[in-house]
């Protein structure tokens, strides 16, 4: 029998034990160092992350931990059209609830999520990782189809249709032009 493999340590990890969270809210800041930013850039397939920091407020509430604040980051993304990196400045508020991981999760049951359920992160062993929550927030704030400053000219040179031309109304306009 083989021993269970442990998960790798996240690139940006800041572990807080639940015993460190008292009755009063904790505030703080997390800043990623150069090595952490480089590792996160590799994980998220970004050319670079020049800065990443977050201000936060952490507070215990009944059976959950509230983690609120904002992240700021200067980074580079690759343009989806040209493939060239371009600078991006991100500023994103977050409101995350940490909840204890269920010991016996329900068996393969379909679960319907409400909007307020989307920012839940489970924890176990009475420890939460604020750094990994910040990393996930950064990733979710990234534009999934980033367009750099030269995207339109590159698309035109390559003969790519604009969003208006490629959509259903663009097809109808082209049909109208053919008919008359």
Alpha-carbon distance of 69 to 55, in angstroms, equals 5
Distance of CA 66 to the CA centre of its chain: 18
Closest CA to 76 of 106, 97, 51, 57: 51
Query: In the chain, which ranges are E strands?
Result: 15-17, 26-31, 48-61, 64-78, 85-100, 120-123, 127-129
Alpha-carbon distance of 177 to 180, in angstroms, equals 5
What pLDDT sits at residue 3?
A: 45
Alpha-carbon distance of 39 to 49, in angstroms, equals 9
What pLDDT sits at residue 169?
A: 59
Read off the pTM: 0.77
What pLDDT sits at residue 82?
A: 86
What pLDDT sits at residue 178?
A: 67
Q: Tens of pLDDT along the chain (180 residues)?
A: 454 455 567 899 999 998 888 888 999 999 999 999 999 999 999 999 999 999 999 999 878 899 999 999 999 999 988 889 999 999 999 999 999 887 765 555 555 555 555 588 898 888 999 999 999 999 999 999 998 888 777 777 776 655 555 556 555 555 666 666
What pLDDT sits at residue 141?
A: 96
């Amino acid at each position: 029998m083989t021993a269970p493999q442990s998960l790798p340590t996240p690139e940006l990890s800041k572990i807080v034990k639940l015993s460190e969270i008292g009755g009063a809210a904790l505030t703080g800041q997390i800043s990623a160092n150069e090595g952490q930013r480089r590792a996160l850039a590799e994980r998220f397939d970004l050319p670079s992350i020049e800065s990443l920091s977050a201000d936060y407020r952490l507070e215990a509430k009944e059976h959950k931990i509230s983690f609120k604040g904002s992240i700021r980051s200067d980074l580079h993304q690759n343009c989806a059209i040209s493939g060239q990196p371009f600078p991006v400045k991100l500023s994103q508020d977050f409101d995350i609830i940490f909840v204890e991981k269920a010991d016996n999760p329900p068996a393969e049951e379909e679960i319907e999520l409400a909007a307020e359920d989307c920012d839940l992160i489970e924890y176990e062993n009475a420890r939460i990782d604020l750094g990994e929550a910040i990393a996930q927030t950064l990733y979710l704030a990234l534009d999934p189809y980033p367009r750099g400053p030269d995207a339109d000219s590159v698309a035109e040179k390559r003969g790519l249709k604009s969003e208006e031309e490629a959509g259903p109304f663009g097809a109808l306009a082209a049909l109208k032009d053919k008919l008359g």
